[in-house]
Structure 1
């Protein structure tokens, strides 16, 4: 097709006259029609639906399939705690701004209600009808109280008496004991009682709160009744069976499990805060008691009890979820670890350390060439060793590092403390506001400060999400200073590095090291925006440079040149970048998007996004790396980044996007991108209606994650 003269179909569906399509014309095209966008919240629910579908995949080992049920449940918790709670806040403050797809807040909440109920119903159907029978075939079963034999009954009654009763406190409901404040996401029971207690009170209801210390599934010893290898009992079954022991002399007409989900987002007016850590500590104390957003009850709970709970929790029937099983499925996550059945789990693997690093050490290799690691296929240990060796190397003068999520027992944090104790200048930019890790990060910051580390909390109003480490070393021979840098797409969390796919770049490139130094200067000091050599960084140049890169491909396509982009992200929501991708598609650019989760761009719209293909890769590992590829008339620019294409990342966070400059590393990364684009077994393809379909053409090609395991791991 001749790129300079194209029959245009405008986004409103009205064809224009034949005219020369120029970049200026494209820039003025109306591409903000809500019909061209997908809703963010519904897209996130669609991601959780794809996660749930893994539980139906017969090629996945059984105990791993059930793990996807629990992951879906955990994701839904956060969805209600943050996204649904945020929409309710928006409604309460009278914000009438519609979503990208034009839906009002009321309509979005209505759509969420419908789809979330469908998702939860399907989740429990798969759990009960698909997975539990298959587990029973493998001698792994959950016993309802009706199937306990005498020996099991006696053992569980003893367990209740000695392990459960001592740690729970029944709360009767009367004039002096009003309905209690229920802890977010905790398991509770409402008991319907009849009779007078020791004080002569005629009670009707009581509440039991289950401490988090109590396991939600209890494994019966092999020598206690039954014939199965692994017999489990839900804690809820034990409570229901023996609750009468808590209320001697009273009749119990019913014992009903329920669970409340609350608004858990922290709202801090940072401009008015003098001490962020203290303010966060105060706010965290109330996180478990935010406004209720969802009530889960057991399927058999009578309407009278349900209505009582809804009224006490200030919720409506739309916010009620009746479930056919435990109300807290994600607390069953321990099941695969309790069952020693390697044949029912993913094959084990050893993340590989590149041979050259083993032979020579990370610093010696970095001094000569860049190192690229693809986790979890390749080990995170060289990154840990990079910091550890810097901590003990007498020639190292300073270490600077950003910390977003590290885990409670971090070898990297211990190395920073050791470096400080040995007299090195150590600076840690700790992001206290990493959602749901705030308490851990406050404790981490205090631990580092006590060790003499200079701790900085970043910049007010901007989360520090960049993953950077800078080491300054003095050469003993020539007395010159040299710098070494680690940049990553993921966090400094060794556990996540076994579960998330991410890239790490270790380099001594002079321009990149200088750029990282300047970004640290911005974070810890004050001054105007630094001009960087190689890095794009938010909130300053990242968005602008991304638009330039996309527009350059558009211009090349209009000039009749080959033009192509491959963008791998976790989420795509920024309207200006979506518009730029639409313009690129109209001009004829081939656009491949690999978007794991939320995608507000709608592919395949005639005249708008016909040249855009969107896939979501779901598998054993959580796809987390961000990679941007631009053909650029054969120059082939390749970047890795900490940032998704979301408003929060581009405008309200400190992020880094770094180029892949070394030819052999670039070639390798492009091959890995090609593997992703050739995969159909783990790829879900998005159509213009917002639906995802697995290998819609009928063809199947090897799972990309399995291929990378075979190629890269040890």
Structure 2
């Protein structure tokens, strides 16, 4: 967990720097704060009020999140350690941070497996969904599994005995492996010692036993249990003294020097080939594995003891998520809901001409965006379509509509961000498809990821051209639009349309720094615009006027913004921050941040809105944005913040995405000054209020 604040007077980090707001004690470590988020996710898996299969899903999400944490955050920290980079605002050197990460991650892993072994697995068994431990197989199940192993598994395995002519094999990132201890001699007279069995990714990690064999409709086993049970069949004539599953996690951050390559797409294709074999950062190993074998693995992967996690169960626990999809038990899942589709979508241009349209996902459908694009592709009056794509998903309907628009003679330009983490291969694929259809594909700006979410349609109406714009806080991905909370605005406001047009010109050409009328844009005006508005609230408070800031985002770590918030708090500005994940600001410090409150919401949907609200002495400023208040978003990415101009829509955004979440007393966690999170509970006289549940009731009915 995050380290508590040091007692005593605050002292500057640098003796030459007299600003006490730079004191490392005022900043949490970003990586440790990110880890803390997964404890809150795991708490959902431990909550008996949540449907059982949904609890299983939360457990798997916490495991998958931890995988990605090691692949990216821990991997980046190890790289920083290698380069000798200095400590960040929190004062923790990379080596110290990595040590604390190991301790916190070990606690999380222990809690995950305790939840699985002691809570969820028994509860699932009682509900008739059995994930059978090897010791629990009866004779009939064992016979079927042995036959399955011989027919379906063993033919694709290539066990490798380790000896001078067979060195340790390359182990793919996050792949399932078994290290086998052997005794005896093989047909060539070679003495057995160790062998490695690698499970190809073509094999299912969860195997369902037929009902006629098992007697139950929902009986499953892990592939790792089957491999361990029948591993002796791969080494006839030798004695298997032990078989221990393991998994290695590798740094997956692609390091392409964009300024040194002539073709970014080709360079990324080359990097993707080797991503699965980059530097190791974590070793998961069965807890009963003998120390000498663990040492052999550590030496091979060039890891130290603080990278080892001994596992009481399957090393790839997140794979049990397949059970969620394989079991049709509505009684064990969240009740279904019907997304609302706003009226007027059958004629989107006419509808938006009458006024802006707000979409609040996932409570409202993403279909109006798809429908507007479809209508644009077919409309003879539409001349041009421009769009940014960061993540769009496999077989994206967005891509299909853009292809169709190009085939229909529209001028289509798409800014594809190739370096969308873990989506690089998919993005390369649909970029090729777009280019083949005649779409002008642009790969953004060297050194700056294009993370802004913008769609621009240019339509001839009479003698004039009119611009229609969609901007959002989330990606153009129909799948996440059912799982993430996000806001989208569709507007024909001429100033916003012109601003978006200028940004697209800048991305595709070599335009100078822009002077935008309505939008804030990173890396140019968004950071300064946020600081300016925080300072305005500070001045209002100093003048005795009401002053308040409410902001919702996924993460917060930008030091200048944090110092500005501290100064605002000192002046008396009341500040409420809704930060889902990592937050390096320390609230509740007397004389510094006692007017700042930070809460995190974890519920059925992944919180993903980015909304900034500034009271402005009764004339509020409200922006939705693609950017969190992170250094990378505000200073090293192309991002946009867009104002909500129509008063009724602005009031709706404030009520639904801010005030509603501040009232949550069932799924909210409040960040304390010592770095811990306190689960908010309804008081004796308060009615329970879930922000997400209230939106489901209000919007979906």
Category of TM-score, reference length = shorter chain: over 0.9
C-alpha separation in 2, matches of 1:452 and 1:32: 52
Q: Does 1:332 align with 2:320?
A: yes
Q: Name the structure 1 match of 2:4.
A: none
C-alpha separation in 2, matches of 1:546 and 1:623: 21
What are the residue-to-residue correspondences of 1:40-439 with 2, within 5 Å?
40-95=30-85, 97-225=86-214, 227-357=215-345, 360-439=346-425
Aligned-pair distance for 1:28? 9.0
Scaled by the length of structure 2, what TM-score is found?
0.96
1:282-301 Cα shifts (integer Å, max 9, x gaps): 11111111111100011221
SS of match in other structure, 1:286: helix
C-alpha separation in 2, matches of 1:606 and 1:697: 26
Which residues of structure 2 form unaligned runs of 5+?
A: 1-7, 12-16
Asked if structure 2 preserves the Cα contact closer than 8 Å seen for 1:12 and 1:33, the reply is: no
Which residues of structure 1 form unaligned runs of 5+?
A: 1-10, 15-26
Asked if structure 2 preserves the Cα contact closer than 8 Å seen for 1:685 and 1:696, the reply is: no
SS of match in other structure, 1:126: helix
Off by >4 Å, runs of 4+ in structure 1: 11-14, 696-700
1:604-651 Cα shifts (integer Å, max 9, x gaps): 000000110000000110001100000101111111000011110011
Please say which of residues 209-218 and 493-502 is displaced more in the overlay. Answer: 209-218
Aligned-pair distance for 1:198? 2.4
Aligned-pair distance for 1:698? 4.7
Asked if structure 2 preserves the Cα contact closer than 8 Å seen for 1:218 and 1:234, the reply is: yes
Asked if structure 1 preserves the Cα contact closer than 8 Å seen for 2:359 and 2:489, the reply is: yes
1:64-98 Cα shifts (integer Å, max 9, x gaps): 00111110111111111111111111111122x21
Asked if structure 1 preserves the Cα contact closer than 8 Å seen for 2:44 and 2:55, the reply is: yes
What are the residue-to-residue correspondences of 1:659-674 with 2, within 5 Å?
659-672=643-656, 673-674=658-659
Q: Does 1:518 align with 2:506?
A: no
Q: Name the structure 2 match of 1:24.
A: none
1:431-468 Cα shifts (integer Å, max 9, x gaps): 00001111111111111101110000000000000000
Aligned-pair distance for 1:99? 2.3
Q: Name the structure 1 match of 2:689.
A: 702
Asked if structure 2 preserves the Cα contact closer than 8 Å seen for 1:547 and 1:580, the reply is: yes
C-alpha separation in 1, matches of 2:102 and 2:449: 31
Change (3 A) 1:245 1:13: closer
Scaled by the length of structure 1, what TM-score is found?
0.94
Aligned-pair distance for 1:104? 1.8
C-alpha separation in 1, matches of 2:83 and 2:169: 28
C-alpha separation in 2, matches of 1:371 and 1:144: 53
Please say which of residues 525-534 and 300-309 is displaced more in the overlay. Answer: 300-309
- Count matched residues: 686
C-alpha separation in 2, matches of 1:245 and 1:379: 53
C-alpha separation in 2, matches of 1:340 and 1:291: 40
Asked if structure 2 preserves the Cα contact closer than 8 Å seen for 1:470 and 1:485, the reply is: yes
C-alpha separation in 1, matches of 2:357 and 2:596: 32
Asked if structure 1 preserves the Cα contact closer than 8 Å seen for 2:10 and 2:20, the reply is: no
Q: Alpha carbon RMSD of aligned pairs, Å?
A: 1.5
Q: Does 1:583 align with 2:567?
A: yes
C-alpha separation in 2, matches of 1:151 and 1:67: 30
What are the residue-to-residue correspondences of 1:454-603 with 2, within 5 Å?
454-475=440-461, 478-603=462-587
1:294-324 Cα shifts (integer Å, max 9, x gaps): 0001122122221221122221111110111
Aligned-pair distance for 1:60? 0.8
1:205-239 Cα shifts (integer Å, max 9, x gaps): 111111112111111111113x4442111111111
1:107-129 Cα shifts (integer Å, max 9, x gaps): 11111111110110011001111
